[in-house]
Structure 1
Amino acid sequence: MTQSPPILDIADFIADPVDPAGFPSHTLRFWNARWAEAVGLGHLGPEAQIAHFGRFDPLDANLPQPLALRYHGHQFGTYNPQLGDGRGFLFAQLRDGALRWLDLGTKGSGQTPWSRQGDGRLTLKGGVREILAASYLEALGVNTSKAFALVETGEQLARNDEPSPTRSAVLTRLSHSHIRFGSFQRLAYLEETDALARLVDYAVRHFHPGADDPDRARRTVNLLAAISAATGRMIGQWMAAGFVHGVMNTDNFNITGETFDFGPWRFLPVSDPNFTAAYFDQQGLYRFGRQPVQGGWALQQLASALLPLADADALATGLAPYQTAYQDSFITHTHALLDIAPLGELQADTEFLQAFYAWMTETGASWPQVFFDWFGGVASADRASASPLAALYVDDPFAPVRDGFEARQPVRPDRLHHAYFQAPAPVSLLIDEVEAVWAPVAESDDWSAVEAKLAHIEQARQAYLGS
C-alpha cells in the first residue's frame, strides 16, 4: 500500500468541505482487519481507530477536511436535483499495491449542506446490515464496496421503519471510487460544461486510464464504454448471486461498477424474477428480474448527461459494451459459483443457464442450497444426494440440469475438501436470518450471533478462494 497525497482537484466543483458530527460516545463495533492491512492501515490501534473512524481526525498526508459530494439523480424514474451526500462524506483517499485510487467514504457521519431535513445519522442496525451484505457479496465474488469500520455513537434515533428510539452508528466503507452517475447529471443540469469536462478528465485519469484519448469527445465516449462494461459485469454478478439491490437510482451507481448504497437489499430465498427488496417499491421497478434493464437505463441517463461533450451517435457506441459485459458476467459468474467451466460456446452455455434457472424457478428450490449442493458439478453428486433437496435432484425435470453439469468439468474440485463444504448447509443471508442475528444485539447487546454469522461468511470466502 502506498500512502500518497490526496487528490484535491475535485473539491471546488463537485464537493463541499464539511465537519463531522460530534458524537457523545464512540464504541468500535467492527473493524475490517484484512482490508485495513491491505490499504496500509493495519498498524492502527484501538485509540487510533476511534480517532480516525469515529471522530474522523484526518489521516496523515491525506484530506485535511472531509468532502461532501454534490450530485443529482433519478429516483424511481423521477429526476431529483435536491440530492448530495446528506449523511456521508469522502474522508480519505489511498492507493493500494496496484496503485489504484481507493476512497474511504462514510454513512451516518452528520449533517451536510445536502441533508435536507435529515439528521445525517445512521442506525446501528443499518450499519450491521451493510457489514453483513458487503461481506457476503465479497465472499460470493461480487464487485462491492467493503465495510471498513463501524462505530456506535451513543445517540438515540427516531425512525419510521424500525422500532424507535434506536441506536446510532457511523459506518466507513472502502471503494475504488464513490463518484456517482449523479455527479455528471448535476453538472449537465446546471450547464457547467467546463466542470463536466473536468470531471470526465478526472475519472479517466484516476479510475479508467485505458479510456484516455487526445480527443475530448472520444475520451468521453471511451469513459462511458468503460463504465458501461463495469456496470454490466456488476449486475451480471448480482443476478448470479441472487442479490437484489433494492434502490437502483442513478445516484446509487458509481463509475467503477461497485455495489454500494444498498439500503433495503435482499438475497433471494428462491428464484423469483418478481422479488422486490424495498417495501416502498410498490410498482416493482427495481425487482430482481428487472435489474439488468434498470442498469441499462441508468447508463442511458449518464450518456444523456455527457451530451455536451460528445454527439448522441458516438455516445450510443459507448453504451454498447453493457449488454455483452452483462451477458458474459452472468454466464461466467454462475459457472464460477458452481465451480464448473463454461463450454465457451455461447448458445450451449446460455441454454444450460436457461434450463438451470427455469428449474430453480419452477421448483422453488432454495437458491443458496442449490448452489452449495452442486459446487463442483458432478464432483458433488454424492453431496447433493444427501442434501435436504435430494428428492428434487432425482426428478425428471432436473435431468437437463444434470446433463449440463455432466458436460462441464469442475474447475477446482480440491476446494470441496474445505471444512465449509463438509457441512450440510451453506451460509446464507435471508432477511429472517438477518433479523435473527440482530435480535440479541437489540435485546441484550449480545453480539455473538453477528460475530458467528460473519465468521461463517469468512469461512465461505476462504472456501471459494481455495485458501
Structure 2
Amino acid sequence: MAPLEQLVFDNTYARLPPGFAARVAPAPFPDAHVVSVNPAALRLLGLDADAATRPEFAQVFGGARLLPGMEPLAMVYAGHQFGGYVPRLGDGRALLLGEVRAPDGAKWDLHLKGGGPTPFSRGGDGRAVLRSTLREYLAGEALHALGIPSTRALCVLGSRTPVYREDVETGAMLVRLAPSHVRFGTFEFFHHTGQPGHVATLADHVLTHHFPHLLEPGPEGRHARFFAEVVERTARLVAGWQAVGFAHGVMNTDNMSILGLTLDYGPYGFLDDFDPGFICNHSDPQGRYAFNQQPRIALWNLACLGEALLTLITEDEARAALGAFQPSFAAHFLARMREKLGLTEARDGDRALVEDLFAVMARSHVDYTRFFRALNRFDSQPDARNAPLRDHFLPPEDFDAWAARYRARLASEGSEDAVRSARMDRVNPKYVLRNWVAQQTIARAQEGDFAEVDRVLALVSAPFDEHPGSEAYAAAPPSWGRHLVVSCSS
C-alpha cells in the first residue's frame, strides 16, 4: 500500500484540447478536517488505512496541497434539466483533481466537490454542505453494495466555515471516485455549440479509455456500437434502480453517466411504502422524475444523447440503438425480480406475477424493502398461512390470492424453501439508506457526532448481513421520518 505521495497520476482528460475544461486552483477550507473515510475506496487507490490518519490527508484531498501530478480542472458540459435545454453548465462546485492509476491498473478520477468557485459556478459560491456530501457519500456505497453501478466516495471533509443556502449550514467537501465523469451533457455541449470535431474527439477519448473492445473492426462503425452499448448500460442501470426501489430524483441529462453509473446524488430516496408514483424531489411537483417514470426518462435522455452523436452515427443507427432500450430494460428488470422472488427459471407468466404483486403492495402501502426481506422466509407448504407476510397487507386476503400463485410457481420448478431462502438472503437487502436514516445521521454529524456516519456506512456497505444490534436501522420509518422529501439545494 502506497503513501499519498506515491499516487500515480495519468490525466487523460487534461490532455484533451482547450475548451473541454477550465484550469482552476481549488479554494480549500482553512480548517478542513476528516469526517469519514471509506476503507473500501482507500483500497481502490492502493492506500492503506493509516493514510487517513496522516495530517496531510485532509490537506491533499481538500485541495490545500496538490500532489505531484495533480492538475485540477473543471469540466464543461450542458444538459436538459427538467426537459429544458441549458446550454452551459459545467462543474460549478467540483474539480477533477487528477486521474489516479491504481496498482491493479484501474483508473480513478479524484473529483472534489465543494472546492470553491469555477468559471461554471453561475454566481454560486462553489461550496457544498455537510448535508448533501453525507447523502452522496453514503448512497454511492449503498448502491454499489446492492450491485448497481455507481460513483464511489473516498471521504467527507468538514469545516466550521458557514455556507449559506436556505439557512446557514455547515460547509463540507466530498471526494468521489469514478473511472470517468463524462456525462450525456458533455456531448450535448459540443453538439449544440456546433463543434462536431470536439464531439468526435470526446467520443474517441471515451472509447479509447473506457470501451476499448469497441475499437476492434465490426459490422457497424465504432461510434454506432458505442451508442448501442451506452443504451444497454443505461437500461441495466435503471432496471437495477427499479428492482431495489431507488428513485434518483433529478435525472437531467447532465446527471447521466456515459459509463452507465449512478451519478450526482441529490434528492434521491429509497421506497418506504410502495408507491409507484413516489416523488422524492421537493423541486419536482409535476413528478417528471417520479419512481415509475425513470425508465421513460432514461430513454428520453438517451434520445438527447443520440441527437448529439448524429455527426458520428446515422439516424437509422440511433433509432436502432434506442429501439433496444425497452426490451433490454424489461429483460434486466425481470431477471432481477426473479432473483428477488427466488425463482431460478424463466417462465412466460413471470411478468404478470411481478406486476400483480406490485399492485397488491401498492393498495396496502407495503414497505418495499421489509416485505421482500420477509419473503425470504415464505413457507411453500400447501396449508401454510405465512402470517408474518400476511400482516403486511390490508386486507390479508390480497396476499393470499397472490401467494397461491407464487406457491404454484415455486413448485413448478421444484424449489426447496431452505435453499431458496439462503439464495434470497443474498439479493433482498435488510438495510437500505432510507431517508430517515440519512437525516438522523446528518443531524448527529452537524452536532459533531461523526461516529454515526461510519456506523451507517458499515451497514449499507454490507446490506444483506444481519448486523445484530442494528435492527432499528431496518425498521419502518418513525412518524417524523415518513414521506420525507429532499430539495435540489446542496
Tell me the TM-score normalised to structure 1 length: 0.87
1:326 aligned partner? 329
How many angstroms apart in 2 are the aligned matches of 1:20 and 1:13? 19
Specify whether residues 155 and 384 from structure 1 end up closer, same or farther in structure 2 by C-alpha distance, changes over 3 A only.
farther
2:405 aligned partner? 403
Q: Encode CA deviations 1:330-381: one digit per residue, 9 max, x unaligned.
A: 112233345x234223x32212211221221122111111121123655899
Specify whether residues 65 and 433 from structure 1 end up closer, same or farther in structure 2 by C-alpha distance, changes over 3 A only.
same
8 A contact 1:154–1:167 mirrored in 2 = yes
1:51 aligned partner? 59
Aligned partner of 1:154: which letter?
Answer: R
One of 301, 306, 313 as aligned partner of 1:303: 306
8 A contact 2:41–2:153 mirrored in 1 = no
* TM-aligned CA deviation for residue 400 of structure 1: 2.4
How many angstroms apart in 1 are the aligned matches of 2:275 and 2:360? 11
**SS of the counterpart of 2:356?**
helix
**SS of the counterpart of 1:151?**
strand
* TM-aligned CA deviation for residue 289 of structure 1: 0.7
Q: Encode CA deviations 1:15-71: one digit per residue, 9 max, x unaligned.
A: 1211111312111011111121123123624224213211264445x4x31121100
* TM-aligned CA deviation for residue 302 of structure 1: 0.3
Aligned partner of 1:196: which letter?
Answer: V
Which segment drifts farther, 107-116 or 48-57?
Answer: 48-57
Aligned partner of 1:6: which letter?
Answer: N
2:115 aligned partner? 109
**SS of the counterpart of 2:230?**
helix
* TM-aligned CA deviation for residue 272 of structure 1: 1.4
2:32 aligned partner? 26
**SS of the counterpart of 2:298?**
helix
8 A contact 2:237–2:262 mirrored in 1 = yes
2:23 aligned partner? 17
Q: CA RMSD in A?
A: 3.1
**SS of the counterpart of 1:407?**
helix
How many angstroms apart in 2 are the aligned matches of 1:383 and 1:242? 27
**SS of the counterpart of 1:55?**
coil
Which segment drifts farther, 134-143 or 219-228?
Answer: 134-143
Q: Encode CA deviations 1:394-427: one digit per residue, 9 max, x unaligned.
A: 5244432453366344776446889x99xxx933
Specify whether residues 58 and 214 from structure 1 end up closer, same or farther in structure 2 by C-alpha distance, changes over 3 A only.
farther
Q: Superposition pairs for residues 221-370 of structure 1, below 5 Å? A: 221-338=224-341, 340-345=342-347, 347-370=348-371
8 A contact 2:9–2:98 mirrored in 1 = no
8 A contact 2:183–2:253 mirrored in 1 = yes
How many angstroms apart in 1 are the aligned matches of 2:219 and 2:57? 43
Question: Gapped runs of 5+ residues in structure 1?
Answer: none
Specify whether residues 380 and 95 from structure 1 end up closer, same or farther in structure 2 by C-alpha distance, changes over 3 A only.
farther
User: What percent of counterpart residues are identical?
Assistant: 30
Aligned partner of 2:449: which letter?
Answer: D
Which segment drifts farther, 143-152 or 312-321?
Answer: 312-321
Q: 2:126 aligned with 1:125, yes or no? A: no
Structure with higher RCO (Cα < 8 A, 6+ apart) = 2
8 A contact 2:373–2:425 mirrored in 1 = no
1:6 aligned partner? 11
**SS of the counterpart of 2:94?**
coil
8 A contact 1:238–1:244 mirrored in 2 = yes
How many angstroms apart in 2 are the aligned matches of 1:456 and 1:143? 18
2:480 aligned partner? none
Tell me the TM-score normalised to structure 2 length: 0.84
How many angstroms apart in 2 are the aligned matches of 1:144 and 1:174? 9
* TM-aligned CA deviation for residue 269 of structure 1: 1.2
One of 417, 441, 445 as aligned partner of 2:445: 441
Aligned partner of 2:57: which letter?
Answer: Q
How many angstroms apart in 2 are the aligned matches of 1:58 and 1:320? 46
Which segment drifts farther, 223-232 or 91-100?
Answer: 91-100
8 A contact 1:107–1:121 mirrored in 2 = yes
How many angstroms apart in 2 are the aligned matches of 1:100 and 1:4? 11
Aligned partner of 2:268: which letter?
Answer: W
One of 67, 72, 95 as aligned partner of 1:66: 72
One of 193, 197, 200 as aligned partner of 1:194: 197
**SS of the counterpart of 1:361?**
helix
